[in-house]
């Protein structure tokens, strides 16, 4: 295995050069990678974080799909599937119809399973934060019943306070 003399000297002196920013830093500024001969990553933690965040911003839908696939056991989705669901919903909540805006990272867009457990693009809909948390693991029909009870309760409560 060929190793550059400069790299070996750096390693022996206790510093390592980041291939991205070209700064020589102490070992603790690098992630550990067992498969590399040095045991250190080729880029510092700061450059690694910046590169990861840049990718996440450029590949929003694929990143969301990756998060969902981590939790799913079957029927993996990709970024194109989630973008298709977003367009299919006409940018509105499936349950209450409120218009949703896409702002990366603010968490106002939720992908909800109409029938719990099926991680399929035909079973996923876009919902707002309130509807998704209110629905929890209920079906769409149960959510409507819950909403009607809440409306009735609020009407009775307002009448009692008069």
The mean pLDDT value of the chain amounts to 79
Count other Cβ atoms within 10 Å, centred on residue 120.
Answer: 15
In 3D space, the residue among 77, 105, 79, 101 whose CA is nearest the CA of residue 90 turns out to be 101
Q: Where are the domains of the chain?
A: 5-55, 77-157
Q: In the predicted model, is pLDDT for residue 159 greater than 90?
A: no
Q: In the predicted model, is pLDDT for residue 2 greater than 60?
A: no
Q: Is the domain 5-55 a CATH 3.30.60 member?
A: yes
Of the pLDDT bands very low, low, confident and very high (cuts 50, 70, 90), residue 158 is low
Q: How far apart are CA 56 and CA 52, in angstroms?
A: 6
For residues 33-49, one letter each, b for 16 or more C-beta atoms within 10 angstroms of the residue's C-beta and e for the rest, the string is eeeeebebbbbbeebbe
Q: Pick one of 1.10.30, 3.40.50, 1.10.12, 2.40.128 as the CATH number of 77-157.
A: 1.10.30
**101-154 pLDDT, tens per residue?**
876 556 677 888 877 767 778 888 888 888 888 877 777 778 778 777 777 776
pTM to 2 decimal places: 0.52
Q: In the predicted model, is pLDDT for residue 73 greater than 60?
A: no
């Amino acid at each position: 295995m060929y190793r550059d003399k400069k790299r070996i000297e750096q390693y022996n002196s206790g510093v390592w050069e980041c291939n991205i920013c070209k700064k020589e830093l102490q070992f603790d500024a690098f992630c550990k990678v067992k498969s590399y001969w040095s045991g250190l990553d080729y880029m510092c933690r700061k450059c690694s974080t910046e590169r990861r965040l840049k990718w996440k911003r450029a590949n929003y839908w694929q990143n969301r799909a990756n998060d969902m696939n981590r939790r799913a056991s079957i029927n993996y989705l990709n970024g194109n599937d989630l973008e298709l669901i977003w367009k299919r919903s006409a940018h509105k909540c499936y349950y209450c119809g409120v218009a949703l805006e896409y702002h990366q990272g603010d968490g106002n867009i939720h992908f909800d399973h109409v029938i719990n457990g099926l991680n399929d693009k035909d079973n996923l809909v876009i919902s707002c934060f309130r509807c998704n948390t209110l629905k929890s693991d209920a079906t769409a029909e149960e959510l409507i019943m819950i909403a009607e009870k809440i409306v009735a309760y609020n009407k009775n409560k307002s009448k009692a306070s008069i």
